[in-house]
Amino acid sequence: MQRKKLFNIDGDDTLINRRMIKGNVTNLFNLNNVKYQWANKLYRLMMENFWIPEKVSLFDDKRAYDELTPAEQNAYDGILSFLVFLDSIQTNNLPNISDYITAPEVNLILAIQTYQEAVHSQSYAYIIESIIPAEKRAYIYDRWRDDKVLLERNKYIAEIYQDFIDERNDKNFARVLIANYLLEGVYFYNGFNFFYNLSARSLMVGTADEIKYINRDELTHCVIFANIIKEIRAENTTFFSEDEIYEMFAKAVEQEINWSNHIIGDQVLGITPESIEKYTKFIANKRLKDIGMKPMYDGFDENPYAHLDKISDTNGEGNVKGNFFEANVSSYNQSTAVEGWDEI
């Protein structure tokens, strides 16, 4: 693939000739002349989702952390370690993707996504500094060095991203886009549900509030890549191999189930190996349908954690309570900012 020019004097910005990739644009941001209207809608949602990690109070979580069982503490620490990796690699790699997207309106929201991923990394640092005992903090970042399951998880996505950096061809770029979609759409969610499960039991409520805001951002990121993939499939029907997409989904689901059983297993109240498998395959089926492909797991069409939806508040139902603006207000406008995101 050919990286687009910073300024292409011979570019053509007419909408009829605009393409998601391999287009010939000037690379100027004429945002009054937009082909992909869904990108405009997402831009407004993402801008409304502005938030500051330190505005969420974690004061009570420090005491609650000491009350967790050893298994819950281990899961809390390990999931944080994995989330740190996910958002670190996204912050670093998104510009490599944007360099090959030839729709300015989409480049704009990818820039916002990069910023949001950096905010998420700061959120994890804030959680770690506020809650984790000092002697354990470094291990949150370095756990992959000792945990072989975590290392394999991290390597799978990182190597796909690195393959494209080393050899920038169509096949590797297609794999990067699917890997990104899997990261945003599958890998986060068992971890998120662990925090919501604790919150449902009145444990680590501040952490769950922080995760809500991250979760809402990640949902919009998932929509970005679902739409990018759909547009490319419509414009170039041979760019993606459906067989490879299914293979990558199967690998991601296998790894997500193995990791979740490894770090959570049957040691945390409200989560079982059965619910982990049901949820992971349910969410994978949903993500496949969202890019116009058939689900791959028959019978996995119900969310076993539906009772946590109200806590996650990702559908805009209810208000985000807690301490986001301390005692000044009881809700935050982000609670409905992504309402209807899956219709975009």
Residue-wise pLDDT for 127-150, tens only, equals 999 999 999 999 999 999 999 999
Query: Which residues, other chains included, contact 241 with Cβ-Cβ below 8 Å and sequence gap of 6+?
Result: 174
Q: What is the pLDDT of residue 128?
A: 97
The dihedrals phi and psi of 21, each to the nearest 5 degrees, come to -135, 155
- Per-residue pLDDT at 251: 97
Q: For this structure, is 124 an active site residue?
A: yes
Question: What is the per-residue pLDDT for 137?
Answer: 96
pLDDT score of 335 more than 60: no
Q: Which of 100, 124, 187, 213 is catalytic?
A: 124
Q: Is the pLDDT of residue 344 over 60?
A: no
Measured distance CA(40)–CA(106) in Å, rounded: 8
Please, what CATH class does the domain formed by 44-343 belong to? mainly alpha
Q: Is 79 exposed, middle or buried (0-12, 13-18, 19+ CB in 10 A)?
A: buried
3-state secondary structure of 120: helix
Q: Check whether 240 has a pLDDT greater than 80.
A: yes
Domain locations along the chain: 44-343
Q: What is the mean pLDDT of residues 249-265?
A: 97
Token code pair at residue 301: 């069409």
CA–CA dist 193, 312 (Å, integer): 8
pTM of the entire structure? Answer: 0.90
Closest CA to 88 of 45, 123, 136, 49: 123
CA 208, chain centre distance (Å): 16
d(CA 81, CA 115): 20
Under the banding of pLDDT at 50, 70 and 90, the label for residue 342 is low
pLDDT of residue 244 exceeding 50: yes
Instruction: Report the chain's terminal Cα–Cα distance, integer Å.
Output: 28
Burial 186-222 (b: 16+ CB within 10 A, else e): bbbbbbbbbbbbbbbeebbbbbbbbbbbbbbbbbbbb
Residue 330 has pLDDT above 50, yes or no: no
Maximum Cα interatomic distance, the chain, rounded to a whole number of Å:
64
